[in-house]
Amino acid sequence: MNGNDLAVSAQGLVKRYGERRVVDGVDLAVPRGAIYGVLGPNGAGKTTTLRTLLGIIEPDEGRRAVFGHDAPRDVSDRIGYLPEERGLYPAMKAREAIAFMGALRGLDWKTGRARAEQMMEAAGLGHATEQKIRKLSKGMAQLVQLLGSVVHRPDLLVLDEPFSGLDPVNQEKLEALILAERDRGATILFSTHIMAHAERICDRLAIIAGGRRRFEGTVDDARATLPQQVRYTPAHAGTDLAALLPAGATTDGRAWRFEMPAGGIEPLLVTLIERGHGIAGLSIERPGLHDAFVRIVGESAAGDVTHAEPAGTFA
Amino acid sequence: MTLARTLRQALTIARRDFTATVFTPIFLLFLFAPLIMGSFGAIGGMGAASVADARADKARIVAIVPPPAMRAFKESDGRLRAVFRRDEEQPPALVTVAPDGRGLDQARSLFAAKDYEASAVLAGPLDAPHVLYGPRGKRAADYLGVLAGDALAAAKLGGSLPRVAVVKLPVARAGGGAGASGYRQSASFAVFGVFLLNLFLASQVVGTMAEERNNKVIEVLAAAVPLESVFLGKLLGMFGVAILFVGFWATIVAKLGSVLPPDVAGALALQTAVGLPTFGLLFFTYFTMAYLLLGSAFLVVGALASSPREIQMLSLPISIVQMAMLGLALGGTAHPEGAMGWAARLFPLSSPFAMAGRAATEAALWPHVAAIAWQLLWVSLFITFGARLFRRGVLQSGSAKPRWFGRKPAAEPLT
Cα(A82)–Cα(A84) distance, integer angstroms? 7
Q: Where are the domains of chain B?
A: 58-156, 179-393
- pLDDT tens for B2-60 read 788 889 999 999 999 999 999 988 889 888 888 888 888 889 888 887 877 776 678 88
- pLDDT tens for B137-184 read 888 899 999 989 988 888 888 777 788 888 888 776 655 555 667 788
**A77 DSSP assignment:** G
Cβ pairs A/B, distance under 8 A? 127
**pLDDT for res A313:** 46
**B245 DSSP assignment:** H
Measured in angstroms, the CA of B180 and the nearest CA of chain A are apart by: 52
A 21-50 residues inside an 8 A Cβ radius of B: 29
Residue of A14, A19, A57 to mutate for B, most B C-beta atoms under 10 A: A57
Q: Where are the domains of chain A?
A: 3-223, 229-285
Residue of A20, A56, A105 to mutate for B, most B C-beta atoms under 10 A: A56
Is the separation of the CB atoms in B282 and B274 below 8 Å? yes
- pLDDT tens for B49-80 read 787 777 667 888 999 988 888 888 888 888 88
Measured in angstroms, the CA of B228 and the nearest CA of chain A are apart by: 12
Phi-psi category of residue B398: left, alpha or beta, with phi > 0 → left and psi -120 to 50 → alpha: beta
Name the 3-class secondary structure at B127.
Answer: coil
With a cut of 70, list the residues of chain A below it in pLDDT. Answer: 1-3, 300-315
Q: Is A147 on the interface with B (CB under 8 A)?
A: no
**pLDDT for res B381:** 94
Q: Which of B110, B114, B78, B81 is nearest to B97 (CA)?
A: B110
Name the percent of chain B lying above pLDDT 90.
25
Average pLDDT over residues B102-118: 86
**How do B59-64 and B93-97 pair as beta strands?**
parallel
Q: Is A157 on the interface with B (CB under 8 A)?
A: no
Q: Are the Cβ atoms of B415 and A106 closer than 8 angstroms?
A: no
**A263 DSSP assignment:** T
Which of A57-61, B271-275, B309-313, B395-399 is modeled with the greatest confidence? A57-61
**pLDDT for res A263:** 84
When pLDDT is cut at 50, 70 and 90, the band that residue B415 belongs to is: very low
Average pLDDT over residues B265-269: 65
Q: Is A250 on the interface with B (CB under 8 A)?
A: no
Cα(A37)–Cα(A5) distance, integer angstroms? 17
Provide φ and ψ at B131, rounded to 5°.
Answer: -120, 120
Is the separation of the CB atoms in A72 and A115 below 8 Å? no
Provide residues of B within 8 Å CB-CB of chain A. Answer: 1, 5, 8-9, 12-13, 16, 20, 24, 211-226, 391, 394-400, 403, 407-408, 410-415
From chain B, the residues in CB contact with A156 under 8 A are: none
Bridge-partner residues for A188, per DSSP? A35, A157
Element (H, E) at B257: helix B227-258
Of A57, A145, A315, the CB nearest to B398: A57
Provide φ and ψ at B158, rounded to 5°.
Answer: 95, 20
pTM of this prediction? 0.76
**A133 DSSP assignment:** G
From chain B, the residues in CB contact with A6 under 8 A are: 413-415
CATH number of the domain at A3-223, out of 1.10.10.10, 3.40.50.300, 3.30.420.10, 3.40.50.620? 3.40.50.300
**How do A6-17 and B59-64 pair as beta strands?**
unpaired
**pLDDT for res A254:** 87
Residue of B219, B306, B309, B397 to mutate for A, most A C-beta atoms under 10 A: B219
Over its C-alpha atoms, chain A yields an Rg (Å, rounded) of: 24
Provide φ and ψ at A289, rounded to 5°.
Answer: -60, -35
**pLDDT for res B175:** 52
Q: Are the Cβ atoms of B397 and A58 closer than 8 angstroms?
A: yes
Residue B235 predicted with pLDDT over 50: yes
Average pLDDT over residues B268-281: 82
Cα(B55)–Cα(B61) distance, integer angstroms? 13
Q: Which residue has the higher pLDDT, B207 or A140?
A: A140
**pLDDT for res A307:** 46
Residue of B215, B218, B220 to mutate for A, most A C-beta atoms under 10 A: B220
Of A6, A58, A92, the CB nearest to B400: A58
When pLDDT is cut at 50, 70 and 90, the band that residue B411 belongs to is: very low
Provide φ and ψ at A65, rounded to 5°.
Answer: -145, 145
Q: Is A194 on the interface with B (CB under 8 A)?
A: no
From chain A, the residues in CB contact with B213 under 8 A are: 314-315
Q: Which residues contact A262 (CB under 8 A, 6 or more apart)?
A: none
From chain B, the residues in CB contact with A59 under 8 A are: 398
